Amino acid sequence: MIKVYYIFFILSFLVLLYKRKDFLVLIPIFYIIFETSFNYLTTLSIVTYIRPVMFFILFAFFTKNISINKISKPLFLFLAYTLILVPFSSEVFYSFKGYMQVFISMMCFAISYSYFKNREQLDNLNKGSFAVLVFTVFSSVVGYVYGVGTVLEYTVKDDPEAIGLLRSFGMYSAGVVIGILPLVIKTFRKKIWQYLLILFSMAAFIFILLNVRRTAILIPIIGILTYAWYSPKKTKIISGIVIVAATLLLLSPLYIEKLTNRFLVREERGRFDEDFYKTESRYTENIEVFSNTFSFENPLKSFFGSKIYASGREEDVRNRMYHTDSASLLDGTGIIGVIIYLYFLFQLFTFAKFPVRNKSENYCLYRSTYMSLLFILLFVSINGSIMNVSFRSLVFIYMGAMLALMKKENVEFP
């Protein structure tokens, strides 16, 4: 299996060199397949460095096209500030590794904004996203049938189950694609392909449900509901949601027993107890970090943080790192870093509110999708995603694409 991955990586390099800038639309499916390699290759093996090398080759093709403007300024400000912090970390290697993960995904936003100029490029990206769904379903089926891949945490005691080649956060990308399905489906003119897209979306969502991870389950739900809220075609979207929900309910005999058992395991572990959140690590870590930071016992740490992206690391020994983006950023980048990041997020909201001279059907489609992605990004930040390269790269590529194409629809921003 290891040889198969090395063949895949070599072929990907060749395709990147051949397609150059156009490789951007293949990034989502490349990253998802890349994620599965860690079932067979260790985290710090040579493949750990393949992703950044691939990205910087791609980035080199865009260096002349990326400018500092209203779109990219807050992004570059955050990346520049956090880069300055890296050498001051007591765990420089892990801080730099974390920085690169954040840099790669966030730069996809600026690259995407400079790349997308027409609907054909978006169609190619959507086809790649369809491939993400297909691969997610395929890797899950392989796991359930042949018992390979990641072992699910929430299974009946003494009866571990393999759920495929993707870990729980590996399902996030499929969730994003489902969440922006109204956009993706526009790429396929023939009904057969539209039906296949919906079929694979439902199958992927069933496997996401069977992972019983709250964040992964809520990503597509938040995406679709946000899209419906901002779309002028609310009735049509809601009707589609009802039909799909009814279909999933009719298919429930195929998976309901396994799903129920897994939820019961979570219940036995107290995951649904009243006030459980008070013992949830993601809750307690924020209380701890906020208390330490705003006590100002160490003003330098309060304002500039420490060990950026390396929480939980002590002399190369790894304890639990902070999961939520709020705790990770406040502890690692300090109050200054959080303010800059919040400025970046604030700007993401303002981009969708610029004056529009022509609210065409395409503009409404792009804006609804953009807002859907933005709310997905904000929601997953609560669980922790800042160093999740695959998920955030996909989100930022689409957000950059939506802004670029909105600009083509006479939106008045640079």
CA dist 79 and 292 (Å) reads: 24
d(CA 10, CA 17): 11
Query: What per-residue confidence (pLDDT) applies to 144?
Result: 87
Closest CA to 400 of 378, 380, 374: 374
Residue 374 scores a pLDDT above 60: yes
Which of 93-107, 305-319, 377-391 has the least mean pLDDT?
305-319
Q: What is the mean pLDDT of residues 328-334?
A: 93
Q: Averaging pLDDT over each range in 89-98, 179-188, 264-273, which range is the top one? A: 179-188
Q: What is the mean pLDDT of residues 203-223?
A: 92
Share of the chain above pLDDT 70, in %: 90
CB 24 within 8 A of CB 397: yes
- At 317 the pLDDT is 52
**pTM for this structure?**
0.93
pLDDT of amino acid 221: 96
Mean pLDDT value of segment 387-406: 94
What's the pLDDT band for 87 if we cut at 50, 70, 90? very high
In this prediction, residue 359 has a pLDDT band, given cuts at 50, 70 and 90, of confident
- pLDDT tens for 293-321 read 998 989 999 999 888 998 876 655 556 67
With cut-offs at 50, 70 and 90, classify the pLDDT of residue 338.
Answer: very high
- DSSP notation for 1-41: -HHHHHHHHHHHHHHHHHHGGGGGGGHHHHHHHHHHGGGTS
- Pairwise CA distance, residues 117 & 124, whole Å: 12
**So what's the pLDDT on residue 45?**
73
Mean pLDDT of all residues belonging to the chain: 87
Highest mean pLDDT pick, 41-45, 231-235, 276-280, 366-370: 366-370
pLDDT at position 66:
87
Q: Tens digit of pLDDT for each residue in 36-76?
A: 888 787 766 777 788 899 999 999 999 888 888 878 889 99
pLDDT digits (tens, 9 = 90+) for 160-180: 777 888 888 889 999 999 999
What is the pLDDT, as a whole number, of residue 181? 95
Q: Tell me, what DSSP letter sits at residue 314?
A: E
CA distances from 55 to 25, 35, 52, 100 (A): 12, 15, 5, 10
Determine the Cα–Cα distance for residues 309 and 398; give it in Å rounded to an integer: 25
Which pLDDT value is given to residue 270? 59
Facing residues of 164 across strands? 149
Could you tell me the two tokens for 156? 């009946």
What pLDDT is recorded for position 283?
Answer: 78
Tell me the Cα Rg of the chain. 21
Does 379 or 69 have the greater pLDDT score? 379
Nearest to 228 by CA among 411, 364, 399: 364
What confidence tens digit (pLDDT) does each residue in 238-261 have? 999 999 999 999 999 988 988 888
Decide if 364 contacts 231 (C-beta within 8 A).
yes
Confidence class for position 233, pLDDT limits 50, 70, 90: confident
- Identity of the amino acid at 371: M
pLDDT, one tens digit per residue, over 8-21 is: 999 999 999 999 99
Closest CA to 232 of 355, 371, 100: 371
Q: What is the mean pLDDT of residues 125-148?
A: 92
* 100-133 CB burial, b ≥16 within 10 A, e <16: bbbbbbbbbbbbbbbbbeeeebbbbbbbbbbbbb
Return the percentage of the chain with pLDDT > 90, whole number. Answer: 56
| Tokens found for residue 224 | 């679709």
Given pLDDT bands bounded at 50, 70 and 90, which one contains residue 3? Answer: confident
